[in-house]
Structure 1
């Protein structure tokens, strides 16, 4: 923006200089003409007097006036979560007591438990957004454009933008008679979506749909926008491998697939919702693995969350497998991870290190199919049993 302002300033000064030069040139001509007329009057030469021709009309035409149209500033909605990501994050405080060799009794290490975030004792339903979805066309995905509008996709061939009064603001037709697998919004407010059938990732710019990435051996599933402007995409191939890929525009920048022991990070299932946290961790809700798999921005495994009070770098146990079904995921401005349990009809909230904080019963939302959080940490979800309404829920104090 600074360069743009300086460029406008340079153009304005150049135009003013040009106007000043034209005026000075006209002034010089007028002064020269006055001097000539004085000579004619003083000469008493009738031939010069009769040969004189007035140039008043010529000198009446002044340079065109300088028309100024001041630029206007159009502010954008401020996304607090993205701002927090730019600042970075602070890890939890941990302390321990050292063991003295000359002591007869050693002291156990003491580690402070994670600080409990300020959460409402009971979440509050703020409003319900009525949409055009229903039994014929079921709602399957949502993404916040800003704090007053939501993009939605369903089982038809259209992506719709709704305001919070339920008004239809915009729509994008999906090409080739196929469905949008998942949707997200970039830092610039542009809609991106996966097309699993055609194995491509598309972006909508200036009401035109463009293909960013076209894949051959991999099928894109879910995606999210990162704080750096990149796009993170989960995908699988035909032989059951899964990975997360980071794209900058159409360029692949990072491929996350294996842990340090060469074992796959993700299951072969096709339900892998994804979200980037404020500390730049990449969080994947791996439904078939019954775990939330969290890796660092460098792709190193940090932990697997497999249910309440369970956080480790090892796969979940058989007992946990039966109870935790992470279908969708979101992160908020405080770095908390919100994971919807599809079977237990609740949301698990953990801190950025995978420590369990609390459950949220989702205000009448059963079998949650999608989550998103706006910049004010309001939660949005919808009822699998009544797909036409999106619920806006407050859970943060």
Structure 2
């Protein structure tokens, strides 16, 4: 069973079957008139039919969304098909004949519906590419902070308990020492008092014995003997001393003293710092919403694009000899009649389409190292000094961006929003128009490096994909505008060596293969479509490609300073 693209998430790579019954080939085209999916063969058959000759058949990616069937409220038997631009109401074919709409301008409602559908799809992409991931990152940060707070609080609790235990240990030590000192004092005082007690005990015994002796003398019957008895001298009372009683002085402390000893908890008196929300420009290229008038003008401009498709053959239009360079390593479109061309020796020249040199400057050697900005200024890298220079329209060269320790190899100015994409060793960096770094792309969702040391050429597709030609990795590496890896194209042979790369108005990716002397054509999902140019068309060692506003393909080659122009779209 085949599914439509709207049934599948916008990041998915998928294959659609042709909608013609019994045809199982892959769908490549879409008929906006009858809303039918078509393969290339069925498209050709479809347009051969006389009743289908005016049908609008486009690439599937440029299809219009089918308008849901809705009945007119005034004419219930009619379907609404148009929008009255003055009244801004949907109307049916019968309504347009009514006098209230007389002279008004009507727009195909299906076109408006397709624009609205694309607008809502863009919002979905913004939500999925920026708002959801950014919010989820902030939520992760909040949860990380919560875990960190719990960890900090546990550490503080442990520190407080440690301080308390330490103080308690000191208190026990001091009390123990005081008790020991008190015991010693008590022992000394009691020992002294015990000695005094024994002294007094001996003295009292002496007195009692003396009294007995005196009584014995008094009891004698012989007067002469009593008279002759010598009276004993009473020994004086021994001296004793009162003990010096110890005193206890209570400690002088307060709660604040204990707080000083144990420490206290403090919350810094600073305002909470707001979490940084990365700008939407770092992952999603936003542009000003067009007005309704601009939308109508854009529709007119896109009419030609919608009816364009790959031609059955490639036609050589002209050749342009470029003096001042030895080989055409890289081409940047300036104005409709001017080009910037560089070689491997650092010669960078501006020429017209006839090959007449307008100006020439000397730079460091490079590959895809220059690009023209939206305001027609030229920007080029200097990998010797790790800087990006800018040449203004008055031909002044100024240093624009310093890339620090990162060597810039390739550069591209976005035609969508004017931002700069710079290919460096192991990374791609995005800068805004003022030179502020917005985004760094280095690894895929598995943590693997996306780029090698030599991302020689870089460009941007119509859907915002960043396409890098990585010579050392032997691959075209494509990520979406938020930096997520979409696919890597590694050629049709093992010796694939990609060089110059560009995209066209239909989202095709064109890349040079220096080894096989070919230019490969891919769709914007990385599916190989064809070898657009081969040695049969006189191409040898192609190393640079670009497509101008008229859909002419410019090809520069390694072995000549002649630029060849081809037609491949019809």
Seen in structure 2, the aligned counterparts of structure 1 residues 346 and 382 have a Cα distance that, compared at 3 Å, is: same
The aligned counterpart of 2:439 is 254
CA distance in 2, matches of 1:143, 1:293: 21
CA distance in 2, matches of 1:185, 1:261: 35
Shift of 1:90: 12
| TM-score (normalised: structure 1) | 0.64
Segments of 4+ in structure 1 off by > 6 A?
A: 89-93
Count of aligned residue pairs for this structure pair: 272
**Is 1:375 paired with 2:566?**
no
| Residues 149 and 162 in structure 1, CA contact (< 8 A), matched pair in contact too | yes
The aligned counterpart of 1:51 is none
| Residues 365 and 382 in structure 1, CA contact (< 8 A), matched pair in contact too | no
CA distance in 1, matches of 2:478, 2:11: 17
Seen in structure 2, the aligned counterparts of structure 1 residues 93 and 157 have a Cα distance that, compared at 3 Å, is: closer
CA distance in 2, matches of 1:111, 1:271: 36
Seen in structure 2, the aligned counterparts of structure 1 residues 213 and 112 have a Cα distance that, compared at 3 Å, is: same
Show CA shifts across 1:13-54 (max 9, x none).
xxxxxxxxxxxxxxxxxxxxxxxxxxxxxxxxxxxxxxxxxx
The aligned counterpart of 1:297 is 481
Show CA shifts across 1:316-374 (max 9, x none).
xxxx5x23221121000110000111111111111111112111125312111111111
The runs of 5 or more residues in structure 1 that have no matched partner are 1-88, 97-109, 237-241, 309-319
SS at match of 1:165: coil
The aligned counterpart of 1:167 is 356
Correspondent of 1:209 among 397, 400, 408: 397
In our comparison, the structure showing a higher alpha carbon Rg is: 2
Shift of 1:94: 5.8
Seen in structure 2, the aligned counterparts of structure 1 residues 183 and 394 have a Cα distance that, compared at 3 Å, is: same
Shift of 1:112: 4.6
Show CA shifts across 1:184-232 (max 9, x none).
1111111011111111111101211111111231110011111211010
CA distance in 1, matches of 2:514, 2:333: 21
The aligned counterpart of 2:339 is 150
**Is 1:366 paired with 2:540?**
yes
The aligned counterpart of 2:371 is 184
CA distance in 2, matches of 1:370, 1:185: 15
Show CA shifts across 1:250-276 (max 9, x none).
2101100011111111123x2431110
1:36-115 aligned at under 5 Å gives the runs: 112-115=26-29
**Is 1:275 paired with 2:463?**
no
The aligned counterpart of 1:38 is none
The aligned counterpart of 1:394 is 567
CA distance in 2, matches of 1:94, 1:179: 42
Greater helix percent: which structure? Answer: 2
| Residues 142 and 151 in structure 1, CA contact (< 8 A), matched pair in contact too | yes
The aligned counterpart of 1:234 is 423
| Residues 424 and 455 in structure 2, CA contact (< 8 A), matched pair in contact too | no
Correspondent of 1:348 among 505, 520, 541: 520
The runs of 5 or more residues in structure 2 that have no matched partner are 1-9, 18-23, 30-39, 41-58, 60-308
Correspondent of 2:383 among 196, 201, 207: 196
CA distance in 2, matches of 1:395, 1:95: 25
Shift of 1:307: 2.2
| TM-score (normalised: structure 2) | 0.45
CA distance in 1, matches of 2:488, 2:357: 39
